[in-house]
Amino acid sequence: MTFGSRFHAAVAARGPLCAGIDPHAALLHAWGLPDSVEGLESFALTATEALAAECAVVKPQSAFYERFGSRGVAVLERVIAVAREAGALVLLDVKRGDVGSTSEAYAEAYLDPASPIAADAITVSPFLGFGSLDPFVDAARKHDAGLFVLARTSNKEAPEVQAAHVDDGRTVTATMLDHLRHLNAGADPLGSFGAVVGATIGDTGEDFAFNGPILAPGYGAQGGTTAELPRIFGAALPNVLPSSSRELLRVGPSAPAMREAARRTNDELRTLLSRTAGQR
């Protein structure tokens, strides 16, 4: 199955919530854990075991593991394995983007099943030009993996680049979305090439319907709300994957509390999707 097919099936079965497994130093402290590899391992595996059975997708942020060097990356490998054993798709948040053989090497590292850190999908940056992502696209097609391309992020600096206009009058965001429309053309039930669009960006006037999944970080503790999702995404709402980390993780280290938070949020999102579908 393609990633788009697996994603569509997973969301239908488990709901659209994505759980971020992000071991911030502050969260380690809040759980009473040391800011060390041992604390990282305890935090990350506890959270993954609690949330991967409830959520369609889990999203580890690679940087929080990489900061501990090779031992931290070894923990990331275990997180990926544990999440998959629980039936979740793994979206590895790495935001890589380069050219030529370097992109090929990144693609092999994160998308080739022979790699110990291979995931179902990764985040990538297109801002060296969308064509610089060709090695990632090729690898995703070869291995039935997915990509989530940065398109309209919610950091305050983003409009400086992403809302800028190219020669034909389109925004940079619209240009990226058009590339994704091309990659996903004819895919059924959903393409494997997605976008990253912040859950706190408000109304930008962009058309986010491109037959692919949309990762919407910033949902929950960072200010993104369920009520805002229809206004931001419009007709693309059924393909949106709201991502929450702190909102779920701060109720830890209790595994039952994290699972209940995930269930409650998924129920809220399902109700939204059902209501908006009835209004069409």
Q: Which residues are catalytic?
A: 95
Q: What's the chain's length in residues?
A: 280
Strand partners, 147: 122, 193
What is the 8-class DSSP label of residue 253? T
Task: Name the residue among 19, 15, 16 with its Cα closest to residue 258.
Answer: 19
Q: How far apart are the first and last CA of the chain?
A: 30
- What is the rounded CA–CA span in Å between residue 273 and residue 279? 10
Tell me how far apart the alpha carbons of residues 227 and 231 are, in angstroms, rounded to a whole number: 8
CA distance linking residue 149 with residue 152, whole number of Å? 9
- The answer to whether the CB of 158 falls within 8 A of the CB of 149 is no
Query: CB of 81 within 8 A of CB of 118?
Result: no
Please report the DSSP string for 15-41 in residue order.
Answer: -S-EEEE---HHHHHHTT--SSHHHHH
**DSSP type of residue 131:** G
Q: Residue 221 is which amino acid?
A: A
